[in-house]
Structure formats: structure tokens, C-alpha cells
């Protein structure tokens, strides 16, 4: 079975390194991008199953990146991360297809559980019997 792919998009290197380590340990193929251009290249090339996307990224903000991701592939799951409690941006992100959001500093176990729930819930079900 193919490993699920997780793309981490954040301009803060420390957060990317931490999340790559956490989700690699969970058994996912992980990719990272520090900006929107790189993130969209990875989305086109690798088709990640889930993207952890920071709301505030220099150059192209999280909402723009989210719009582009959904134009490329509507089935890609996106969880937003933000250091800001901007409810209007969070609402817009949800309207654009983001599943949920985490406010920094977030609890890493909560984030890990959310990702696992999203990626393990759609695993193929095997019919028993019949």
C-alpha cells in the first residue's frame, strides 16, 4: 500500500522541521515548502493527500495557496495553521475547502491526531464475508 503524502507549508523553518519529523515518524511521506510557489510545484508533482498550510506566508498568503491547491486537485485535504486569530480569514479558508485550523502555538498531539483522522478515515474498507 502506498504511503500517504503530507506537505508542510510554512515560512518558519523550525515548524517545518518539527512537523516533518512528527509525520515521518507516523509513517507518511513528507514534503516541505517555505513559500507558495514551491508548495504548488510539489502539489502538482507529488499530489499530496494532505497539506498543512500556514495562513501567513510572505509573497503568496495561505488563502491564495489554498485556492490554487483546490484548482489543481479538489480532493487534497488542507488543514490551516495560523498564529493569528483572524476569524474572517479562517472562515474564508473553510469556505474555500480547508477542513479545520490550528492556532499557533498548537498542541502537536492534537495536530497529529487530526492528520491521522483525516488520512486514515478514507483507507479502503475490506468487505468481510459474503
Query: 59, 81 in Cβ contact below 8 A?
Result: no
Find residue 81's DSSP bridge partners.
54, 102
Query: 48, 7 in Cβ contact below 8 A?
Result: yes
pLDDT in tens, 37-93: 999 999 999 999 999 999 999 899 999 999 999 999 999 999 999 886 677 888 999
Q: Kindly list the distances between the CA atom of residue 28 and the CA atoms of 36, 68, 83, 101, in Å, as whole numbers in the listed order.
A: 22, 23, 25, 20
Q: Does residue 105 have a cis bond before it (omega within 30 degrees)?
A: yes
- The structure's pTM equals 0.91
Amino acid at each position: 500500500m502506498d504511503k500517504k503524502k503530507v506537505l508542510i507549508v510554512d515560512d518558519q523553518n523550525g515548524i517545518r522541521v518539527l512537523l516533518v519529523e512528527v509525520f515521518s515518524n507516523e509513517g507518511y511521506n513528507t514534503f516541505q515548502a517555505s513559500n507558495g510557489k514551491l508548495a504548488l510545484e510539489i502539489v502538482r508533482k507529488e499530489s499530496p493527500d494532505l497539506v498543512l498550510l500556514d495562513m501567513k506566508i510572505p509573497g503568496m498568503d495561505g488563502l491564495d495557496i489554498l485556492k490554487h491547491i483546490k484548482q489543481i486537485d479538489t480532493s487534497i485535504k488542507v488543514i490551516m495553521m495560523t498564529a493569528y486569530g483572524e476569524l474572517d480569514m479562517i472562515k474564508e479558508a473553510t469556505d474555500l475547502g480547508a477542513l479545520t485550523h490550528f492556532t499557533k502555538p498548537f498542541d502537536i498531539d492534537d495536530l497529529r491526531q487530526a492528520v491521522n483522522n483525516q488520512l486514515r478515515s478514507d483507507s479502503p474498507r475490506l468487505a468481510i464475508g459474503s
